């Protein structure tokens, strides 16, 4: 085959390929262009119908709840602190922290420290020396070698020495002693360990009446103005297997920030029948606002260019309402606006794609 023949074959092949591509392009674009015309011929555009779910608008009681967390602790004013008025050494601790105790339960055994015993011995030696001095002065007085003033001074020194010894002995410094509970309650704190030397008057342990407990909650400083004494609080143990709640009331709102938690402390008195453990972790719900209002689920309200929008249904079409929000909680929100009527359907599902006047098909929201 010569070169001219090969060129002719290649030319016709390219011509056939171009013709096929043109036919394919015409068929595909021509049929697509014809489709709208056919659709228009069959009846034209139809209205878009939005599927929505609604609930009837009604006025309800709505509460704004402040949730706070804290611990169960002994009421500060009800705590009984045990100590001894001399330096002592702890012999034995007879109870455990958190233990429920009846009245007269032995709590702790202590004994005088070596320095305390030395102090008592010194006082007794001073008393004995004062006795000897007085006896000597009396003998000198009989020999006309001392005066009545010398005798009076020696007697005063003896009286002071005896008074000091009696004072030290009355504090229990001469013998070990056992401290016992004077009333039934709970051991709320043990501040010492066996063998420890404890300064005079330092706390050994604390007890509290079985029902004399408080819950200390922590709230943000910005919320402190929303709570006050006497407000009801719903309490529950975070670690409890059951979700039962216990009522309580605020007894004190402090005016300072706790340096450990950086929160404002709020003290709550639980119901006397509450079964809380000391140092238990507790959740408190404080009702800070409650009143009747138009109330809808939070999903019913949409943000719209700085406003809040609510859709209702009238004659099968969506009606837009610009509303203002009031009290809110986790599930509901108070709405305020014009032309809100009791019982009218409020769209709660499907409202995000609506336009005013759009045709809707509604069904009741469960």
Q: What is the CATH number of the domain that holds 342?
A: 2.40.420.20
- DSSP state letters, 314-350: ETTEEEEEEEEEEEE-SSEEEEE-TT--TT-EEEEES
CA 13, CA 9: separation in Å to the nearest integer?
6
Q: Is the pLDDT of residue 234 over 90?
A: yes
Boundary of a domain, candidates 289, 319, 340: 289
165 domain-assigned: yes
Spatial distance between the Cα atoms of 241 and 344, rounded to a whole number of angstroms: 43
Q: Which residues 6+ apart lie within 8 Å of 109 measured at CB?
A: 90, 91, 92, 94, 176, 177, 178, 179
d(CA 239, CA 251): 24
Q: What is the rounded average pLDDT of the residues 54-63?
A: 90
Residue 35 lies in a domain: no
Supply the mean pLDDT for the chain: 85
> Among 289, 312, 340, which residue terminates a domain?
289
Q: 8 lies in a domain? A: no
Sheet holding 88-93, edge to edge: 177-180, 106-112, 88-93, 197-198
Domain membership of residue 253 (yes or no) is yes
Asked if 56 and 90 sit in the same domain, the reply is no
Residues 279, 307, single domain; the answer is no
- Indicate whether 170 and 312 sit together in one domain: no
Could you identify the residue written with the tokens 């003896």? Answer: 158
pLDDT digits (tens, 9 = 90+) for 274-297: 888 888 999 999 988 778 899 999
Let me know whether 277 and 302 are in one domain. no
Report the CATH number that the domain containing residue 232 is assigned in CATH.
Answer: 2.40.30.170
Stretch (H or E) spanning 246: strand 246-257
Which of 13-27, 62-76, 87-101 reaches the highest mean pLDDT? 87-101
- Do 241 and 264 fall into the same domain? yes
C-alpha torsion angle, residues 71, 66, 297, 61 (rounded to 10): 110
pLDDT at 60 over 80: yes
pLDDT of residue 127: 95
Whole-number pLDDT of residue 31: 43
Average pLDDT over residues 244-269: 93
Q: Is residue 45 part of a domain?
A: no
For residues 71 and 217, membership in a common domain is answered with: yes
Give the pLDDT of residue 18.
Answer: 52
Please report which confidence band the pLDDT of residue 253 belongs to, taking 50, 70 and 90 as the band edges.
very high
Q: Provide the 3-class DSSP secondary structure of residue 183.
A: coil
Least confident of 39-48, 56-65, 215-224: 39-48
| Residue at which a domain ends, from 177, 207, 237 | 207
Map tokens 């402190």 to a residue. 224
pLDDT at 16: 52
Quote the domain boundaries for residue 336.
51-62+292-364
Closest CA to 180 of 113, 103, 110: 103
Instruction: Please indicate, yes or no, whether residues 55 and 164 belong to a single structural domain of this protein.
Output: no
Q: What whole-number distance in Å separates Cα of residue 161 and Cα of residue 120?
A: 11
Question: Terminal CA-to-CA distance of the chain, rounded, Å?
Answer: 84
Q: State the total domains in the chain.
A: 3
Percent of the chain with pLDDT over 70: 87
| 103 within some domain | yes
With CA atoms as reference, report the closest residue to 74 among 262, 232, 267, 224: 267
Domain check: are 127 and 224 in the same one?
no
Instruction: Please check whether residue 118 lies inside any domain of the structure.
Output: yes
Whole-number pLDDT of residue 327: 85
The residue whose two tokens read 């019913």 is 300
CA distance 120 to 105: 29
Does 336 share its domain with 248? no
**What integer is the mean pLDDT of 136-165?**
92
Tell me the per-residue pLDDT of 95-142, one tens digit each, with 9 for 90 and over: 998 898 999 999 999 999 999 999 999 999 999 999 999 999 999 988
Q: What is the largest CA-CA distance in the chain?
A: 172
Considering the domain boundaries, does residue 16 fall inside one? no
pLDDT tens for 302-311 read 988 888 999 9
The proportion of the chain whose per-residue pLDDT surpasses 90, expressed as a percent, equals 60
Reported as a pLDDT band with limits 50, 70 and 90, residue 212 is confident
Q: Are residues 170 and 233 in the same domain?
A: no
CATH of the domain at 114: 2.40.50.100
Same domain, 96 and 194: yes
Same-domain pairing of 102 and 170? yes
């Amino acid at each position: 085959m010569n070169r001219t023949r090969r060129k002719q074959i290649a030319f016709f092949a390219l011509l056939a390929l171009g013709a096929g591509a043109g036919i394919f392009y015409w068929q595909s674009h021509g049929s697509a262009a014809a489709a709208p015309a056919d659709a228009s011929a069959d009846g034209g555009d139809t209205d878009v119908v939005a599927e929505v779910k609604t609930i009837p608008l009604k006025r309800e009681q709505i509460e704004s709840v402040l949730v706070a967390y804290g611990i169960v602790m002994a009421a500060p004013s009800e705590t009984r602190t045990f100590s001894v008025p001399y330096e002592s050494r702890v012999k034995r601790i007879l109870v455990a922290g958190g233990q429920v105790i009846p009245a007269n339960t032995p709590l702790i055994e202590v004994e005088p420290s070596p320095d305390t015993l030395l102090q008592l011995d010194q006082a007794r030696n001073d008393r004995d020396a004062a006795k000897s001095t007085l006896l000597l002065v009396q003998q000198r007085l009989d020999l006309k070698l001392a005066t009545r003033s010398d005798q009076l001074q020696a007697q005063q020194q003896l009286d002071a020495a005896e008074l000091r010894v009696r004072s030290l002995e009355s504090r229990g410094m001469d013998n070990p002693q056992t401290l016992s509970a004077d009333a039934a309650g709970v051991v709320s704190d043990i501040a010492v360990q066996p063998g420890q030397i404890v300064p005079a008057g330092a706390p050994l342990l604390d007890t509290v009446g079985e029902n004399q407990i408080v819950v200390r909650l922590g709230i943000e400083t910005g919320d402190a103005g929303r709570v006050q004494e006497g407000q009801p609080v719903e309490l529950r143990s975070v670690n409890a297997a059951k979700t039962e709640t216990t009522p309580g009331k605020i007894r004190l709102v402090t005016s300072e920030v706790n340096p450990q938690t950086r929160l404002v402390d709020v003290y709550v008195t639980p119901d006397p029948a509450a079964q809380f453990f000391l140092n238990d972790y507790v959740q408190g719900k404080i009702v800070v606002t409650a009143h009747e209002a138009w109330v809808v689920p939070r999903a019913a309200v949409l943000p719209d260019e700085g406003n809040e929008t609510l859709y209702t249904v009238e004659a099968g079409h969506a009606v837009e309402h610009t509303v203002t929000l009031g009290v809110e909680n986790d599930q509901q929100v108070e709405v305020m606006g014009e032309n809100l009527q009791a019982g009218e359907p409020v769209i709660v599902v499907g409202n995000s794609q609506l336009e005013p006047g759009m045709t809707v098909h509604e069904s009741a929201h469960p």
